[in-house]
Amino acid sequence: MMKLCLLRHGQTSFNLQGRWQGSSDIPLNETGFEQARQAADELAGEHFTAFYSSDLQRARVTAEIIAQKHALPVSTDSRLREINMGIWEGQLLSEIPGLYPEAWAERLRNPVDARAPGGESLRELSLRVTQAIQDICAQYHADDRLVIVAHGLCLAAFLCHVQNIPLEEAYERIPKNAIPKYLDWPQLS
Protein backbone atom coordinates (compact mmCIF):
# COMPACT_ATOMS: atom_id res chain seq x y z
CA MET A 1 0.00 0.00 0.00
CA MET A 2 1.30 3.46 -0.92
CA LYS A 3 2.46 5.57 2.02
CA LEU A 4 1.84 9.32 2.11
CA CYS A 5 3.76 11.64 4.40
CA LEU A 6 1.67 14.80 4.80
CA LEU A 7 3.11 17.99 6.28
CA ARG A 8 1.82 21.45 6.85
CA HIS A 9 4.31 24.18 5.91
CA GLY A 10 6.52 25.83 8.51
CA GLN A 11 5.34 28.84 10.49
CA THR A 12 4.75 32.27 8.93
CA SER A 13 4.36 35.70 10.50
CA PHE A 14 0.62 35.48 9.72
CA ASN A 15 0.38 32.22 11.73
CA LEU A 16 2.08 33.96 14.65
CA GLN A 17 -0.16 37.03 14.44
CA GLY A 18 -3.42 35.08 14.07
CA ARG A 19 -4.06 36.37 10.55
CA TRP A 20 -5.85 34.33 7.93
CA GLN A 21 -3.43 33.87 5.07
CA GLY A 22 -5.54 31.59 2.88
CA SER A 23 -4.22 31.60 -0.67
CA SER A 24 -2.01 34.68 -0.12
CA ASP A 25 1.65 33.93 -0.80
CA ILE A 26 3.19 34.56 2.63
CA PRO A 27 6.83 33.48 3.25
CA LEU A 28 8.15 31.39 6.12
CA ASN A 29 9.47 33.27 9.13
CA GLU A 30 12.70 32.22 10.91
CA THR A 31 10.80 29.74 13.09
CA GLY A 32 9.25 28.31 9.93
CA PHE A 33 12.66 27.78 8.35
CA GLU A 34 13.86 26.07 11.53
CA GLN A 35 10.75 23.84 11.59
CA ALA A 36 11.41 22.85 7.98
CA ARG A 37 15.05 22.02 8.80
CA GLN A 38 13.93 19.92 11.78
CA ALA A 39 11.44 18.04 9.60
CA ALA A 40 14.20 17.48 7.04
CA ASP A 41 16.45 16.00 9.74
CA GLU A 42 13.62 13.82 11.05
CA LEU A 43 12.85 12.45 7.59
CA ALA A 44 16.46 12.21 6.36
CA GLY A 45 16.77 8.47 6.99
CA GLU A 46 13.58 7.55 5.16
CA HIS A 47 13.22 6.65 1.50
CA PHE A 48 10.74 8.67 -0.56
CA THR A 49 9.83 8.36 -4.21
CA ALA A 50 8.66 11.92 -4.85
CA PHE A 51 7.91 15.28 -3.24
CA TYR A 52 4.87 17.44 -4.01
CA SER A 53 3.73 20.75 -2.60
CA SER A 54 1.40 23.65 -3.03
CA ASP A 55 2.87 26.31 -5.29
CA LEU A 56 2.64 28.90 -2.49
CA GLN A 57 6.13 29.67 -1.22
CA ARG A 58 5.56 28.72 2.43
CA ALA A 59 4.74 25.14 1.38
CA ARG A 60 7.13 24.96 -1.58
CA VAL A 61 10.14 26.19 0.43
CA THR A 62 9.32 23.80 3.29
CA ALA A 63 9.19 20.93 0.78
CA GLU A 64 12.43 22.03 -0.90
CA ILE A 65 14.30 22.09 2.41
CA ILE A 66 13.13 18.55 3.16
CA ALA A 67 13.66 17.25 -0.39
CA GLN A 68 17.28 18.49 -0.47
CA LYS A 69 18.22 15.73 2.00
CA HIS A 70 16.86 13.21 -0.51
CA ALA A 71 18.31 14.83 -3.65
CA LEU A 72 14.83 14.94 -5.18
CA PRO A 73 13.00 17.80 -6.89
CA VAL A 74 9.69 19.20 -5.66
CA SER A 75 6.72 19.19 -8.04
CA THR A 76 4.12 21.84 -7.34
CA ASP A 77 0.37 21.67 -7.81
CA SER A 78 -1.77 24.79 -7.34
CA ARG A 79 -4.71 22.58 -6.31
CA LEU A 80 -2.82 21.96 -3.03
CA ARG A 81 -3.17 25.65 -2.09
CA GLU A 82 -4.89 26.69 1.10
CA ILE A 83 -8.56 27.70 1.03
CA ASN A 84 -9.20 31.02 -0.67
CA MET A 85 -10.50 33.26 2.12
CA GLY A 86 -11.44 36.14 -0.19
CA ILE A 87 -11.52 39.52 1.54
CA TRP A 88 -10.75 37.90 4.90
CA GLU A 89 -7.17 37.14 3.85
CA GLY A 90 -4.65 39.13 5.82
CA GLN A 91 -7.22 40.00 8.49
CA LEU A 92 -6.90 39.04 12.13
CA LEU A 93 -9.18 36.12 12.91
CA SER A 94 -10.23 37.91 16.11
CA GLU A 95 -11.51 40.92 14.12
CA ILE A 96 -13.40 39.13 11.33
CA PRO A 97 -16.64 38.49 13.29
CA GLY A 98 -16.98 42.22 14.05
CA LEU A 99 -16.06 43.38 10.56
CA TYR A 100 -18.24 40.87 8.68
CA PRO A 101 -20.99 39.82 11.11
CA GLU A 102 -23.42 38.39 8.54
CA ALA A 103 -20.81 36.36 6.65
CA TRP A 104 -19.30 35.15 9.95
CA ALA A 105 -22.72 34.12 11.28
CA GLU A 106 -23.30 32.13 8.08
CA ARG A 107 -19.92 30.42 8.53
CA LEU A 108 -20.90 29.41 12.05
CA ARG A 109 -24.29 28.10 10.83
CA ASN A 110 -22.90 26.28 7.83
CA PRO A 111 -19.11 25.79 8.14
CA VAL A 112 -18.93 23.41 5.17
CA ASP A 113 -20.67 25.46 2.48
CA ALA A 114 -20.36 29.07 3.67
CA ARG A 115 -17.58 31.16 2.21
CA ALA A 116 -15.86 34.40 2.98
CA PRO A 117 -16.87 37.13 0.51
CA GLY A 118 -14.90 36.40 -2.65
CA GLY A 119 -13.57 33.10 -1.29
CA GLU A 120 -14.30 29.39 -1.53
CA SER A 121 -16.11 27.00 0.77
CA LEU A 122 -14.63 24.21 2.83
CA ARG A 123 -16.47 21.70 0.63
CA GLU A 124 -14.90 23.22 -2.51
CA LEU A 125 -11.47 23.06 -0.85
CA SER A 126 -11.99 19.42 0.13
CA LEU A 127 -13.02 18.41 -3.40
CA ARG A 128 -10.09 20.29 -4.98
CA VAL A 129 -7.44 18.90 -2.64
CA THR A 130 -8.78 15.34 -2.67
CA GLN A 131 -8.79 15.31 -6.48
CA ALA A 132 -5.24 16.69 -6.56
CA ILE A 133 -3.92 14.01 -4.21
CA GLN A 134 -5.80 11.26 -6.06
CA ASP A 135 -4.29 12.47 -9.35
CA ILE A 136 -0.80 12.59 -7.84
CA CYS A 137 -1.09 9.11 -6.34
CA ALA A 138 -2.42 7.65 -9.60
CA GLN A 139 1.03 8.27 -11.14
CA TYR A 140 2.81 5.93 -8.70
CA HIS A 141 2.92 2.31 -7.59
CA ALA A 142 1.62 0.66 -4.43
CA ASP A 143 5.05 0.46 -2.77
CA ASP A 144 5.95 4.13 -3.42
CA ARG A 145 6.26 6.71 -0.64
CA LEU A 146 5.29 10.31 -1.36
CA VAL A 147 5.72 13.52 0.62
CA ILE A 148 3.00 16.14 0.20
CA VAL A 149 3.55 19.55 1.79
CA ALA A 150 0.50 21.78 1.87
CA HIS A 151 -1.53 23.88 4.30
CA GLY A 152 -3.39 23.39 7.56
CA LEU A 153 -7.03 23.50 6.54
CA CYS A 154 -6.22 21.92 3.20
CA LEU A 155 -4.72 18.85 4.90
CA ALA A 156 -7.40 18.75 7.59
CA ALA A 157 -10.14 18.69 4.94
CA PHE A 158 -8.37 15.90 3.05
CA LEU A 159 -7.91 13.84 6.22
CA CYS A 160 -11.58 14.30 7.14
CA HIS A 161 -12.51 13.00 3.70
CA VAL A 162 -10.32 9.89 3.74
CA GLN A 163 -10.95 9.06 7.40
CA ASN A 164 -14.73 9.45 7.14
CA ILE A 165 -14.80 12.30 9.65
CA PRO A 166 -17.49 14.99 9.22
CA LEU A 167 -16.04 17.89 7.24
CA GLU A 168 -17.41 20.30 9.89
CA GLU A 169 -14.59 19.06 12.14
CA ALA A 170 -11.79 20.16 9.78
CA TYR A 171 -11.18 23.46 11.61
CA GLU A 172 -10.49 21.51 14.81
CA ARG A 173 -8.14 19.09 13.04
CA ILE A 174 -5.62 21.49 11.52
CA PRO A 175 -2.16 19.91 11.92
CA LYS A 176 0.75 21.67 13.57
CA ASN A 177 3.42 23.24 11.41
CA ALA A 178 5.97 20.87 9.82
CA ILE A 179 5.01 17.74 11.79
CA PRO A 180 4.84 14.62 9.54
CA LYS A 181 1.57 12.69 9.44
CA TYR A 182 1.60 9.29 7.74
CA LEU A 183 -1.30 7.83 5.83
CA ASP A 184 -1.66 4.58 3.91
CA TRP A 185 -3.22 5.17 0.47
CA PRO A 186 -5.82 4.31 -0.37
CA GLN A 187 -6.92 4.21 3.24
CA LEU A 188 -10.57 3.84 2.30
CA SER A 189 -12.00 2.48 -0.91
Q: Which residues are catalytic?
A: 9, 82
Contact between residue 21 and residue 12 where contact means Cβ atoms under 8 Å apart? yes
Question: What structural domains does the chain harbor?
Answer: 2-185 (3.40.50.1240)
Q: Provide the mean pLDDT of the chain.
A: 96
pLDDT at 107 over 50: yes
Residue-wise pLDDT for 135-187, tens only, equals 999 999 999 999 999 999 999 999 999 999 999 999 999 999 999 999 998 75
Residue-wise pLDDT for 35-48, tens only, equals 999 999 999 999 99
The Cα 47–Cα 68 span in angstroms is 13
Contact between residue 97 and residue 104 where contact means Cβ atoms under 8 Å apart? yes
DSSP state letter for 2: E
Q: What sign does the dihedral 83-86-91-95 (CA atoms) show?
A: negative
Kindly list the distances between the CA atom of residue 127 and the CA atoms of 28, 60, 106, in Å, as whole numbers in the listed order.
Answer: 27, 21, 21
